[in-house]
Amino acid sequence: MRALTWHGTKDVRVDTVPDPQIVNPRDAIIEITSTAICGSDLHLYNGLIPGVLPGDILGHEFMGRVVDVGPGSTLSVGDRVVVPFTISCGACFFCRHDLFSACDNSNPVDTQEVTEAQFGHAMAGLFGYSHLTGGYPGGQAQYARVPFSDVGPIVIPEGLSDDQVLFLSDILPTGWMAAENAKIEPGDTVAVWGCGPVGLFAIQSALLMGAETVIAIDHHSRRLDLARSLGAKVIDFRQTRVLEALTEMTGGIGPDAVIDAVGMESHGFVTDTILDKAKQALGLPYDAAHALREAIMACRKGGRISVPGVYGGLTQMFPMGAIMQKGLELRTGQTHVQRYLQPLLRRIEEGEIDTTFLISHHLSLEDAPKGYHNFLNHQDEWIKVVLKPH
Amino acid sequence: MTHHQDERSRQSIAWLALGAVAVTGLVGASVLTRQPMARHDADSAPGRTARQMRYGRFAVVGRTVTIHRPRDEVYRFWRDPSNLPTIMDHVAAITEQNNDLWTWQLDAPAGMTVHLETEIVSDRPGSEIAWKSTEASQVRTQGKVMFSDAPGDRGTEVEAIIAYTPVLGELGRLIAKLAGKDPETQGRRALKRLKMLLETGEIATSRNQREPEAPTAKAAESQQA
């Protein structure tokens, strides 16, 4: 089959590799009909995530048709499914408590030890990401092996297009969980840093959850336009002093909840970013956390911080004093995708959530390297890329 | 090796069989330590987590894992030697001489094979299996695995403790550890595979081809429950 593989920093290629096979009883093989490039794929593309090896197949947002099943799968050949990016066994303590992205049993034993040393506990398995999360071949390919196929994939009824449901695999539930973690109450103002796909879905979700006002912060005009079209007020951080503006726009109180949908590659022409970037350039494991610091400073006393943005290392100059003194609550985590699939699919079917507005480009799988390049370098135009492998 | 040192080791391994609390006590017993250390009251933690550990020639490793299955089921799995090579990638085979006497073929560093013969010295169904190597064994080791009810309906806590004499002593222990072939790494991985197999019916792998890509890769990884 053809698959998008990683060969080094800013070097991804489409190679011919062996077709996947059923290996374990609960596996299924999916023929992929649509697969997207995620913002977190750019962290791999930029070489910021350790444990990615040449030849690794990337991609963790994919869907398709079941073409083969093991004896323990509950899927049938021909089923049309969306596959969550988190691999979850459904049986361990964490899966039984709906903490699917904390699954104990999906990361193979020999790849658990690095994150045990780095984070104190091993991470779950993820598709198409680092070997720290299992090194599972990803979905930017014509086929993929899906372990625990009786727990992860959701069967999609006919009548819904790929573009309507593909983002159930990651970014829609991620935006939803980001808003849920912000514990929104009626009348709340929610500020969202980053109007990439997750930020935009977080804005949409926050409004559905009853936020009175959502304020979106970015610097790409097209992305700010999309935020505005969803019903958000916007701040362009190149024009405006964000902290001061947020205080003024909330009657001096500050946002009730803040969402960092930027993560470890935060921009901003400020001292802390320059220092963070210098450390990353030296290969030191420090995340650029400007958006998070600013969000913490902006948040009202007793407010909530939600962090869907990806971090992988250490954060310097972390304003713990502001969190403690203002009594803030911080909630974050890889998305427990399986928890949100059914309710979000229902909202899509009922027309309450539309995800297709996000897609700026459809490309063939063969053009995926071009997609990576443009998604990184032309973020104002390239909002979301969907690849068609067949 | 003086007779005196040998005697110490025998003492320490005998103490180990008495369990984690006894081992904690042992650490404080200055007769068994090379460097005398201040005596404090033992805390509640397992002896293997002590900052300073001295068990003579013996290295002691241990690990606890929680498995969401009933105690008896986990015990029965461990009591059947035909199950163990599936979860222990350094064990090529186990032959049962009789119910309590097992012969193990172990993969050792540098492509060597080690024969281990163990005798079960304590068997309490549903709660404990302890073993020790016999005179015929190439390595001296002693260990036990304990099963107890985990709190809050979380299943069974499985605690395994192994004492062994490293091949080539301390240097050998470090070399094996760097190669991931030390009993600590092997034991930890075995417990995780046990958990995967009993909780999910399979052992997670990221391979997407049925045949192992490397000829040394273990067929057990793809075996079904």
Which pLDDT tens digit goes with each residue over B101-139? 999 998 876 778 888 999 999 999 999 999 999 999 988
The HSE-up count of residue A139 (CA atoms within 13 Å, CB side) is 34
Identify which has the larger pLDDT, A331 or B6.
A331
- Residue A27 confidence (pLDDT) above 80: yes
What is the pLDDT, as a whole number, of residue A270? 62
Average pLDDT of chain B is: 78
Domain boundaries, chain A: 2-170+336-388, 172-332
Sign of CA dihedral A24, A28, A33, A34: negative
B39/A contact by beta carbon, under 8 A:
no
Contact list in A for residue B200 (CB cut-off 8 A) is 26, 89-92, 105, 148
Task: Read off the pTM.
Answer: 0.87
Q: How far is CA A320 from the centre of its chain?
A: 25
B107-139 burial, b at 16+ Cβ within 10 Å, e below that, comes to bebeeeebebbbbbeeeeebebbbbbbeeebeb
Q: What are phi and psi of A241, to 5 degrees?
A: -80, 110
Q: How far is CA B126 from the centre of its chain?
A: 18
**Do residue B206 and residue A72 have CB atoms under 8 angstroms apart?**
no
What is the pLDDT, as a whole number, of residue A271? 67
What is the pLDDT, as a whole number, of residue B53? 65
Contact list in B for residue A106 (CB cut-off 8 A) is 204
B7-B11-B13-B16 Cα dihedral, nearest 10 degrees: -170
Q: What are phi and psi of B122, to 5 degrees?
A: -150, 130
Q: What is the pLDDT of residues A345-382, one digit of tens each?
A: 999 999 999 999 999 999 999 999 999 999 999 988 99
Closest-CA distance, A127 to chain B, in angstroms, reads 9
Q: What is the pLDDT of residues B145-156, one digit of tens each?
A: 999 999 998 999
Identify which has the larger pLDDT, B56 or A377.
A377
Lowest mean pLDDT among A195-199, A281-285, A331-335, B221-225: B221-225
Domain boundaries, chain B: 1-57, 63-222
By Cβ distance, the residue of B68, B199, B206 closest to A135 is B206
**Do residue A104 and residue B201 have CB atoms under 8 angstroms apart?**
no
- Residue B25 confidence (pLDDT) above 50: no
Residues ≥6 apart with Cβ < 8 Å to A56: A5, A6, A128, A131, A135, A137, A138
Lowest mean pLDDT among A5-19, A186-200, A354-368, B37-51: B37-51
- Best of B197, B205, B216 to disrupt the A interface by mutation (most A CBs within 10 Å)? B205
Q: What share of chain B is helix, strand, coil (3-state, %, to 5)?
A: 35, 25, 40
Q: What is the pLDDT of residues A51-60, one digit of tens each?
A: 999 999 999 9
Check: CATH 3.30.365.10 for A2-170+336-388? no
Amino acid residing at A60: H
By Cβ distance, the residue of B189, B199, B205 closest to A92 is B199
- Residue A118 confidence (pLDDT) above 70: yes
d(CA B96, CA B118): 10
Select from 2.60.120.10, 3.40.50.720, 3.40.5.10, 3.30.70.141 the CATH code of A172-332.
3.40.50.720
Confidence of residue A268 (pLDDT cuts 50, 70, 90): low
**Do residue B189 and residue A125 have CB atoms under 8 angstroms apart?**
no
What is the pLDDT, as a whole number, of residue B207? 96
**Mean local confidence (pLDDT), A156-163:** 96
Other beta carbons within 10 Å of A48 = 20
Contact list in A for residue B206 (CB cut-off 8 A) is 108, 111, 125, 134-137
Confidence of residue A282 (pLDDT cuts 50, 70, 90): confident
Q: Are A290 and A266 in contact (CB under 8 A)?
A: yes
Identify which has the larger pLDDT, A386 or A270.
A386
Q: What is the pLDDT of residues A136-155, one digit of tens each?
A: 999 999 999 999 999 999 99
Identify which has the larger pLDDT, B171 or B204.
B204
Select from 3.30.530.20, 3.10.129.10, 3.40.30.10, 3.30.70.370 the CATH code of B63-222.
3.30.530.20
What is the pLDDT, as a whole number, of residue B16? 42
Q: What is the pLDDT of residues A177-196, one digit of tens each?
A: 999 999 999 999 999 999 99
Identify which has the larger pLDDT, A332 or B169.
A332
